């Protein structure tokens, strides 16, 4: 979850003796456009051996970087593998890849580059080196196949296919013939492959939705501190601040602190522990906000049981 609104410098309470409600606005991670829920899962990317292996390796590296940035804060945790090419990719193929890579989700990439179409070589204006005195626009068709298997989701292989035309500009000294230019073009695709990996990644990156999460507080510094910690994303510190409040005072204040702890645990995606703290709050007092948190918890707990 991402914070989009922090607490104001001073919290103004309407009454010191009764709990107040503070709405916290966060951006909540949603499933990707592919429909897959990839958060908190491990990934690996494989590409097939073949004549276009170098291109696929660059595409796979770009895809890995995009997934790492979105789901792991940029930490390099997605491993990339080169695997033997097969005529067809079966469910068993993907099962084997999951076992071999020891990850939850496997992406299997395979591309086929068509014959380059060579345009007229053109002189480059201005002061340039002799090796780059000419530029040749080239068009290369590419067909890409991507198979995705989520071992924690439905037991099925998601299959994606697409085609595009890569348009590298090949700088040269003016002497290469068409055949040599085609070879140079195939070796000039790193930037285009990197762009393609980013394009493929878009389907699997998180989508975000703004949601409001309500918490309780009283008008004193002891209650302000954990609330501010929570708004700053310091969930464990917020729980540490509310824990003593859940053990002292009257039933209403203890219930409010227990509820706030449950909400912090929910935001940490520890749904089972959040349910326990919410149950404790329910035993102490009937709170108006409890039903909403119960409904949120039920959705996630039911998913985990499937």
Residue 226 in tokens: 């954990």
Query: What does the pLDDT read at residue 306?
Result: 56
Closest CA to 253 of 21, 19, 15: 19
Query: What does the pLDDT read at residue 10?
Result: 39
Radius of gyration, alpha carbons of the chain: 27
Please check whether residues 74 and 98 belong to one and the same domain.
yes
Q: Is residue 196 part of a domain?
A: yes
Query: What does the pLDDT read at residue 201?
Result: 96
Query: What does the pLDDT read at residue 304?
Result: 67
Please check whether residues 293 and 236 belong to one and the same domain.
yes
Domain count, the chain: 2
Phi, psi for residue 104 in degrees, rounded to 5: -80, -40
Please check whether residues 194 and 227 belong to one and the same domain.
no
Low-confidence ranges of the chain (pLDDT < 50): 4-16
User: CATH code at 220?
Assistant: 1.25.40
Among 162, 180, 204, residue at a domain's last position: 204
Query: What does the pLDDT read at residue 26?
Result: 87
Please check whether residues 196 and 49 belong to one and the same domain.
yes
Q: Is residue 240 part of a domain?
A: yes
> pTM of this prediction?
0.78
Q: Is residue 85 part of a domain?
A: yes
Please check whether residues 25 and 57 belong to one and the same domain.
no
Q: Is residue 125 part of a domain?
A: yes
Among 175, 204, 233, residue at a domain's last position: 204
Structural domain including 216 reads 2-7+19-31+207-305
Query: What does the pLDDT read at residue 233?
Result: 86
Q: Is residue 283 part of a domain?
A: yes
Please check whether residues 184 and 66 belong to one and the same domain.
yes
Q: Is residue 38 part of a domain?
A: no
Q: Is residue 36 part of a domain?
A: no
pLDDT, tens only, 172-227: 999 999 999 999 999 899 999 999 999 999 999 999 989 999 999 999 899 999 99
Among 189, 204, 219, residue at a domain's last position: 204
Please check whether residues 198 and 211 belong to one and the same domain.
no
Query: What does the pLDDT read at residue 218?
Result: 94
E-strand ranges in the chain read 2-3, 20-30, 43-48, 79-83, 105-113, 117-118, 122-123, 134-150, 157-166, 169-172, 207-217
Please check whether residues 188 and 145 belong to one and the same domain.
yes
């Amino acid at each position: 979850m991402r914070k989009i609104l922090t607490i104001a410098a001073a919290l103004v309470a309407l009454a010191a003796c009764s709990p107040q409600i503070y709405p916290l606005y966060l951006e909540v991670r949603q499933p990707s456009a592919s429909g897959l829920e990839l958060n908190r899962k491990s990934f690996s990317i494989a590409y097939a051996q073949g004549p276009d292996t170098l291109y696929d390796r660059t595409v796979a590296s770009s895809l890995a970087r995009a997934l790492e940035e979105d789901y792991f804060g940029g930490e390099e945790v997605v491993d990339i593998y080169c695997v033997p090419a097969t005529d067809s990719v079966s469910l068993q193929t993907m099962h084997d890849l999951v076992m071999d890579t020891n990850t939850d989700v496997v992406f299997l990439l395979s591309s086929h580059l068509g014959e380059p179409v060579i345009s007229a070589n053109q002189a480059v204006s201005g002061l340039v080196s002799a090796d780059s005195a000419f530029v040749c626009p080239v068009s290369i068709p590419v067909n890409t196949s991507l198979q995705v298997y989520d071992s924690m989701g439905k037991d099925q292989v998601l299959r994606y296919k697409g085609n595009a035309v890569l348009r590298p500009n090949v700088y040269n000294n003016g002497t290469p013939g068409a055949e040599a230019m085609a070879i140079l073009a195939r070796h000039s695709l790193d930037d285009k492959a990197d762009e393609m990996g980013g394009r493929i990644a878009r389907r699997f990156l998180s989508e975000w939705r703004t949601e409001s999460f309500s918490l309780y507080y009283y008008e004193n510094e002891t209650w302000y501190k954990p609330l501010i910690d929570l708004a700053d994303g310091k969930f464990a510190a917020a729980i540490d601040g509310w824990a003593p409040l859940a053990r002292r005072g009257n039933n209403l204040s203890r219930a409010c602190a227990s509820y706030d702890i449950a909400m912090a645990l929910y935001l940490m995606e520890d749904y089972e522990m959040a349910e326990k703290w919410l149950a404790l709050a329910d035993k102490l007092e009937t709170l108006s906000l409890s039903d909403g948190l119960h409904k949120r918890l039920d959705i996630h707990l039911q998913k985990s049981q499937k």
